[in-house]
Amino acid sequence: MTTAPKQFALGIDAGGTQARWALLSLDGEVVATGYASGLSGMQMHTDTGRAAVQVRLAEIVNQLLPFTHGASVRALVAGVTGVGAGNPDLAAMLSDSFSVSCESVRVVSDIEIAFHAAFAPGEGYLIYAGTGSIAAYIDEAGALHRAGGRGVQLDDAGGGYWIAREALRRIWRREDESPNAWHDSPLAKILFEKVGGESSIYAARFLVERDRGEIGLLAIEVAQCADADPLAAEILNDAGAELARLANAMLHRYGTRKIALGGRATHLHPSIEAAMRRNLPDDIAMQFQSLDSHSAAARLALKSIAS
């Protein structure tokens, strides 16, 4: 008797700093998980960006080889930052990279995948803050509703990029009022070291030349200074208030539901959660949620095979 070739379902959760993946067998067993360099749908708009995405997909392909042993990926769902209503070019690149038929590849926003990792449709609101920030709600009919998430150049207040930019901006505003105040600021000292110098030129250049994920990582330094520097504490408090604004927008639009917090920026410092709670109605349940978005994407891929 000839044994049918083994097949898999693959899920990818791609952010600006990291892409995670999960490989499932067709009976739902987790075969392997891993991570690679990040990528964004926004990169698909330039030749250089597309080439970078291709390299990062090849990285995942190579990571899969020890587990697939030449077997095929039957279906693939990718949640990718910087993707709105799908991305045909990225879907085609995924199809080619992983040798999956185009009909079996689905590209959605990373926040849609993250919601499925947190809630069933209609159950609650996800407030997600990584490099950027966004609120998401998928209703019982499967429609995705969003607040925020318009990109770090326009808004995304409360996310890691915003925290980092605000820190640099406020440091230099304080210098306008009190020249050389940075000498007494633990936050200013560490950020000047990170951006390369003690002039605003270095800060401006860092924001222009570095990618948004790298800039967002400066938020870690802000959080580490929060207990020693009032300016850092102020920024994190304001970040929590901004994330609460997203939650309040969803509560106003769709009614009372519980709230889940996800993303690395929500975990930076307890003051972010405390500020959120102060700015939300007292009767709203809110909790941190561990989001295995790559696994949720793989389960959606598996579900597409069964349907």
Nearest to 34 by CA among 60, 15, 2, 9: 60
Indicate whether 180 belongs to any domain. Answer: yes
Q: Which helix (H) or strand (E) segment is 144 a member of? A: strand 144-148
Quick check: 16 pLDDT over 80?
Answer: no
For the stretch 154-205, pLDDT in tens is 999 999 999 999 999 999 999 999 999 999 999 999 999 999 999 999 999 9
**Residue 173 and residue 85 share a domain:** no
Q: What is the 3-state secondary structure (H, E, C) of 53-117?
A: HHHHHHHHHHHHHHHHCCCEEEEEEEEECCCCCCCHHHHHHHHHHHCCCHHHEEEEEHHHHHHHH
Residue 30 forms part of a structural domain: yes
C-alpha 22, offset from chain centre: 17
pLDDT reported for residue 5: 57
Same domain, yes or no: 99 and 33: yes
The pLDDT tens digits for 252-261 are 999 999 999 9
In a domain, residue 139? The reply is no
Is the same domain home to 254 and 298? no
- Same structural domain, 191 and 252: yes
Name residue 21's beta-bridge partners: 12, 34
CATH of the domain at 246: 3.30.420.40
Sheet holding 7-14, edge to edge: 30-37, 18-25, 7-14, 72-80, 105-109
The mean predicted confidence, pLDDT, of the chain is 93
Q: What is the pLDDT of residues 279-300, one digit of tens each?
A: 999 999 999 888 899 999 999 9
- Would you say residue 40 lies in a domain? yes
What is the structure's pLDDT at 290?
A: 83
Residues 172 and 97 in one domain: no
Q: Using one digit for the tens of pLDDT, what is the confidence trace for 91-135?
A: 999 999 999 999 999 999 989 999 999 999 999 999 999 889 999
Number of separate domains in the chain: 2
Structure confidence at residue 221 (pLDDT): 98
User: Are 166 and 263 members of one domain?
Assistant: yes
CB burial readout 49-62, b (16+ within 10 A) else e:
beebbeebbeebee
- Do 253 and 297 lie in one domain? The reply is no
Higher-pLDDT residue of 263, 175: 175
pLDDT of amino acid 3: 46
CA distance linking residue 142 with residue 19, whole number of Å:
25
Q: Looking at the domain assignment, is residue 35 inside a domain?
A: yes
The verdict on residue 150 lying in a domain is no
Let me know whether 16 and 113 are in one domain.
yes
pLDDT digits (tens, 9 = 90+) for 135-154: 999 999 999 999 999 888 89
Residues 86, 19, single domain; the answer is yes
Residue 142 lies in a domain: no
Q: Which domain holds residue 201?
A: 160-268
> What pLDDT digit, counting tens, does each position of 39-78 carry?
888 899 999 999 999 999 999 999 999 998 878 899 999 9
Residue 2, pLDDT above cutoff 70: no
Q: What is the structure's pLDDT at 4?
A: 47
pTM: 0.85
- Is the pLDDT at 307 greater than 90? The verdict is no
The answer to the question of residue 106 being in a domain is: yes
- pLDDT at res. 68: 87
